[in-house]
Amino acid sequence: MSISFQKPSLASSNFFFEHDPVVVDELDVVEENGRRLYVTPSGQKYPSITTVLSILNQKSIQKWRERVGEEEANRISTRAAGRGTRIHKMCEDYLNNVLQESIEKYSYWDRLMFDSMRIIFDEFIGKVRVQEASLYSDFMRVAGRVDCIAEFDGKLSVIDFKTAAKPKEERYIENYFMQTAGYAVMFEERTGIPISRIVVIIGVDDHGTQLFVKKRDDYIEQFMDVRSDYKKLYGT
């Protein structure tokens, strides 16, 4: 399922989210040979799932940087990363019922993008189980940090928050679906709680919000193929 929501006006909300936390181990992170690795309780070191999936876009990103120039590419990347960090924090605080305490520090444009995403939160997200938690899988030999695991339209789901300058076509964001499918497997391996639904919510500049709802099992085999390619490239 894919739905687009138009941007609303900047409105206040008194919505309250219920929490039933699932406790998972927090992982240490180390840098080795320029790569980010998560250290599991048993001492295993696994690459992040975003690092593994980045091999899918390396060539296209390099071509883009060559086309726009390094200075402009760095400017755009820095701006996008900052916006993504701020919107993620707003989403986290909103689901923790504390955003109203810090909303004034965000820019009008950040608040406008988040307000469009908030409509989806209020309509579909129920009980919150996990937020900003580190997960890992010994089976897939990968780790990462999940944005949110909560009930979505009544069904436990992995929920990922993204931002974009323009609307995304599904065929170009299968890495998003593989990422969330990977988190679902990690969570089940760590807790014994299965998750079959994955959700990606994308705040888009001047275009409202995109919502994608998918099935975990439609993407996990694709991810395992990418994981195998990553091992061939880096030996881990």
Distance CA 100, CA 148 (A): 20
- The pLDDT of 31-53, averaged and rounded, is 92
Question: Residue 26 contacts by C-beta under 8 Å, 6 or more apart in sequence?
Answer: 133, 134
Phi, psi of 140 (to 5 degrees): -90, -10
Inform me whether the pLDDT recorded for 194 exceeds 80: yes
CA distances 37 to 30, 44, 146, 175, 188, Å, are 5, 9, 15, 19, 21
The tens digit of pLDDT for each residue in 91-148 reads: 999 999 999 888 889 999 999 999 999 999 999 999 999 999 999 999 999 999 999 9
Distance CA 71, CA 162 (A): 24
Distance CA 37, CA 144 (A): 9
Contact 51, 227 (CB under 8 A): no
For the ranges 156-160, 185-189, 206-210, which has the lowest average pLDDT? Answer: 206-210
What residue has token string 């998918």?
A: 214
The pTM of this model reads 0.90
pLDDT grade, residue 206 (50/70/90)? Answer: confident
Percent of the chain with pLDDT over 90: 72
pLDDT at residue 128, rounded to an integer? 98
pLDDT at residue 21, rounded to an integer? 95
Inform me whether the pLDDT recorded for 49 exceeds 90: yes
- Greater confidence (204 vs 67) lies with 204
pLDDT averaged over every residue in the chain: 89
The tens digit of pLDDT for each residue in 127-142 reads: 999 999 999 999 999 9
Q: Residue ranges of the domains in the chain?
A: 2-234
Distance CA 156, CA 128 (A): 9
Distance CA 76, CA 61 (A): 12
Distance CA 49, CA 63 (A): 23
Distance CA 107, CA 104 (A): 8
pLDDT at residue 32, rounded to an integer? 86
For the ranges 6-15, 38-47, 77-86, 150-159, which has the lowest average pLDDT? Answer: 6-15
- Greater confidence (116 vs 35) lies with 116
CA distances 215 to 13, 83, 158, 200, 218, Å, are 30, 28, 10, 11, 6
pLDDT at residue 64, rounded to an integer? 47
- Greater confidence (11 vs 85) lies with 85
Distance CA 32, CA 36 (A): 7
Q: Calculate Rg over the CA atoms of the chain.
A: 18
Domain 2-234 sits in CATH at 3.90.320
Tokens of 159: 């929920």
pLDDT at residue 139, rounded to an integer? 95
pLDDT at residue 71, rounded to an integer? 72
